[in-house]
Chains A and B, each alone.
Chain A
């Protein structure tokens, strides 16, 4: 270093184009590309084996039957992007269905009042968990596990039995369909889920809140040093997931027309599976909501194929999802390794 150094800074260095050539395809999109490729190949392969699979309504039914899962998975994606986890979502759905049913059926409340109230309840429940996690530096896993037991327990406390919903507003929403022509249609729940997905994508990529979520997942210490609102973002993400769970609960009541404390058992795990299969890293900071959509569609497609086949046990769904999860975790490790060696 003792040699005299040039006093003017070198112009754009010639090394730059080499990286560009090496990284024509930004590696951050690889997991997303794999998920989409998997869905497409599963659809094509399924379509070849099973005649009925490639009908448009079957495809639309993926949205209709998994609307609540997609809504929950959107909230879960945000939580996982910060490096956290939310195990309470299934129980919050159950709680929402039970409280809605009791308020509407037993107390005669106006459904249009109950629905926003449920959203508030979900957001408050999630926000409270977020506050515990943020304020007292608690593990998200344990806090939301507590939330999961709490919400499930409260719904049992309110009603042990299933309460069927006969309210005309719920009945008509449950039956309403948006016709897309050619005999194809979408339910209100499916439309809501697509709306939530679009809103989520907007939130993630066009707002400062969304970018703070990614920053938080990338490095909490750095986000703090950058002066980003780390605490508000972390609490906000759990509140958002809680609100998504409540909305999923409302959609679930349209779908099942009942409030029952055993509803949506284990759904939190399906949601996590969908997010992971969708290419989001459990360590946070990396992933896309579009990936989550395809994660949900892949889970739905497996179920659809098993239903169409008719001879396969429904447990095959679990086996295939299990296999896929292992595969994606391995892929994630592989990408993480590749990225590290490059830096």
Chain B
């Protein structure tokens, strides 16, 4: 760990339409260090990254690279200067080979014909991958490798262009624990080679596992730069949210759900290639957690309950009456709502406004003949924006411009408007920050107390334990078991891992 500053940004300010997105922000990246950039949604992390990578120009402040002032005008320009970025979604071409993805744009050429010298390209690519301690066949197409490897290839490309600064923008959000470990190994290797790495993530434990320093932003302002070893987790959280913050102990009241009549009962519900026949019961006013690893069948089960995929075994009973969904519309008509996992592709309509997104499901349910007047729409949208604390300039702002957590709240609002009897939330807190997470979870609990049944799907065990009245755990596409709420995280983990 040295103290040589590679990249120094000082006094950075940026205003969008008069609203300050960044104000007097400092960031110093040093050679051979992993530096975490922390902050809630809307704290200004993405704007700062956009400034550093030349996507937007700052209104105030200076950026210096090894003492020289720079002003990158585009991501390509920033890359030429030595600042490479790897984004959350892998920005490579899945149809090309790994080697091509690494070397595209600067292929080794044969001397006379100027054609691509493939054997040299493959050698170069393999050498770059080996620098990251990865020994894979670089001639295979990128799509034949798992997302984690694709991410490493993106990093390989980023560092191969003589980068001195590497920005990793939430690279771990789609990786499982093992893959995160691999990524960290790569980051350590690069750190030893003297790279300055800026690591943006929502996962606190990852910050403590790999980062040397932390810069915290809040509401577009600079809160401070800390050494990780000197900043306990609780202090980091209060720096981020600006108030003392209790991580545990949501005020969950024990709801006497044991006697409540079941709202939905699934018996032997299954689908070939999806989930094995599964029994599940959800009672009124209950938060039922659904845990398990990625791919354990959590999402698939929710899709069956919602009628998105037809079940080829078993029955669903609502209030004791057997039902068979031919389409989600039928499930919706019975008061079931599903908040899907992929917010961007299945949840929001990015181009439509907050208001339009919120009334979408209600209008669909009412049908076109009972058109909601503009005044009614405004009233509904305004109410939910306030209720859920959605941070938006106005209800006419396109949802695509909102931060991740606020987009998720819009999706939640859309289904709450329809006043469902059973709300299924598939990873509602994925990729959003702690405060938004906490707000959404307390919102969920409030709804349950009013009598709504909630199916809460989450990969995060502590969340399940804290919020749910009962927890069903999926493993290898079957239900591994059920636990009562408040069970220890260890018990849940045992069920998930199958070591119970």
Contacts and interface: CB of A to CB of B under 8 A. Distances in A.
Interface in B86-122: 91-96, 100-101, 104-105, 107, 113, 115-116
Contacts of B185: 5-6, 8-10
A215 B104 contact: yes
Given A7-B188, A10-B133, A228-B105, A19 B145 contact: yes
Contact of A218 (B96, B107, B144, B209): B96
B95 A286 contact: yes
A223 B206 CA distance: 31
Interface residues of B, number: 46
Contacts of B177: 1
A319 to B, nearest CB: 33
Nearest to A20: B137
Nearest to B110: A206
B372 to A, nearest CB: 33
Contacts of A12: 133-135
Interface string A201-238: 01001111001101101110111011110000000000
Contact of B115 (A16, A206, A212): A206
B75 A214 contact: no
A223 B93 contact: yes
Contacts of A26: 140-141, 144
Nearest to B206: A1
A90 to B, nearest CB: 29
Contacts of B95: 28, 214, 217-218, 285-286
Given A215-B93, A219-B93, A343 B184 contact: no
Contacts of B93: 214-215, 218-219, 222-223, 226, 285
B144 A208 contact: no
Contacts of A13: 182
Interface string A27-39: 1100000000000
A10 B182 CA distance: 8
Q: Which of B104, B136, B150, B203 has the most CB of A within 10 A?
A: B104
Contacts of A225: 75-76, 91
Interface residues of A, number: 42
A23 B144 contact: yes
B105 A339 contact: no
A207 B96 contact: no
Contacts of B79: 227
A294 B141 CA distance: 23
Contacts of B184: 5
The listed residue with most B CB atoms (<10 A of its CB), out of A5, A11, A12, A222, is A222
A314 to B, nearest CB: 38
A228 to B, nearest CB: 5
Interface in B149-193: 150, 157, 177, 180-182, 184-186, 188-189
Interface in B25-58: none
Contacts of A8: 185
A178 B144 CA distance: 45
Interface in A284-321: 285-286
Contacts of B144: 19, 23, 26-27, 342
B386 interface: no
B143 A339 contact: yes
B146 interface: yes
Nearest to A12: B135
14 contacts: A1-B203, A1-B209, A12-B133, A19-B145, A26-B140, A28-B141, A218-B94, A218-B96, A223-B104, A226-B93, A226-B101, A227-B105, A343-B94, A343-B150
Interface of B: 75-76, 79, 91-96, 100-101, 104-105, 107, 113, 115-116, 132-137, 140-141, 143-147, 150, 157, 177, 180-182, 184-186, 188-189, 203, 205-206, 208-209
Going nearest first, the 3 A-B pairs with the smallest beta carbon separation are: A218-B93, A12-B135, A9-B185
